[in-house]
Amino acid sequence: MKIFLKITGLFFLYIFVTSCSNEVKEKVSHNDDNIKKKDLTLADPYILLHDDFYYAYGTMSPNGIVVYKSNDLKVWEKAALKTNDLALNKKDSYADKWFWAPEVYFRNNKFIMYYSADEHICAATSNSPEGPFIQEEKKPILSSKAIDHHLFIDDDGTPYIFFVQFTNGNEIWVAELEDNLMTMKKNTLTFCFGVSQDWEKKLGLVNEGPFVFKNGDTYVITYSGNDFRSQFYGVGYATATSPFGKWTKSKSNPILSKPKTLKGTGHHSLFKDKDGNNKIVFHSHLNDSLVSPRVLHISNYSVTGSGDETVVKVDSNYFTPTEK
């Protein structure tokens, strides 16, 4: 009888301990999930919507270009698991360092990525938004140093590439592209603008990160001003009647600068979400004292008016996505 009671007692003790242990494991697991959710850190971000998924590309890795995937813009996970999280590996590129500011487009039944490598603008292609992207011809689009490229295709189908050259500081230029979208028509190379407004003069001579769209017959270019290390790094816009200008900067600039508690907000891109809403994605400094790693944020933007009375506004009520 005593043996039976001892065995029974041990059995119930085992059940109690196991139950407590499982409860602790569940709590730890739940806490681990919370810990794993962190702000998505991705500089110079660009978001592509394709086949009901969002893909985010940006400046992060010394080994190439990373890509994240999401179905709701709020929670993201690394997409290129088969290629070490890289949509583009440096072994498939013109250069082996400084992989910056990628943009990806689906054109002619393939994906084309524009990116900077060793301060030269390049293009690579893939059959998937997750990569691998391959630069078939290992040479830059332009032989001179340039960064922060942006593809704009006009209503008549003419492709243009906007980008930054290091002329008088960082200045924005434009040129037409051949139909292959990778060859620049160098005889069309045209200066757009450089630093001119007071808000852009806090640190350095920097106008960069161009992104262009059309509002009726008016061309609108959004761009970033100040050195990215400045807490006053922000976004402005200008308008013109031609991709070649003359560009007139808005007196309302900057339209994005230190919203709420963020600092160093800029190098954005524009996109539409699944419901057709205008969205802007941009990065900020990590905090008040550290620039990097830079954090990705998303907000809404609006466009009203027309012609030289076009008004672009960015909603200060941003949200910060997390990495799964």
8 Å CB contact between 112 and 121 = no
Instruction: Give how far the C-alpha of residue 22 lies from the chain's centroid of Cα atoms, to the nearest Å.
Output: 42
8 Å CB contact between 47 and 56 = yes
Pair (32, 158) in one structural domain:
no
Pair (174, 267) in one structural domain:
yes
Model pTM? 0.88
Q: Indicate the number of domains in the chain.
A: 2
Q: What percent of the chain has pLDDT over 90?
A: 87
Pair (307, 177) in one structural domain:
yes
Pair (93, 27) in one structural domain:
no
Q: In the chain, which ranges are continuous DSSP H helix?
A: 2-36
Pair (269, 152) in one structural domain:
yes
Pair (31, 46) in one structural domain:
no
Pair (1, 101) in one structural domain:
no
The domain of 31 spans 1-36
- Reply yes or no on whether the pLDDT at 17 is more than 50: no
For residues 18-24, give the mean pLDDT. Answer: 38
Pair (57, 13) in one structural domain:
no
What is the tens place of the pLDDT at every residue in 45-82? 999 999 999 999 999 999 999 999 999 999 999 998 77
Domain of 171, CATH number, reads: 2.115.10.20
- 153: exposed, middle or buried (Cβ count in 10 Å: 0-12, 13-18, 19+): middle
Residue 26 φ then ψ, to 5°:
-65, -40
Pair (137, 110) in one structural domain:
yes
**Measured between alpha carbons, how far is residue 292 from residues 21, 76, 119, 182, 297 in Å?**
40, 19, 20, 32, 14
Q: Give the C-alpha separation, 274 to 68, whole Å.
A: 17
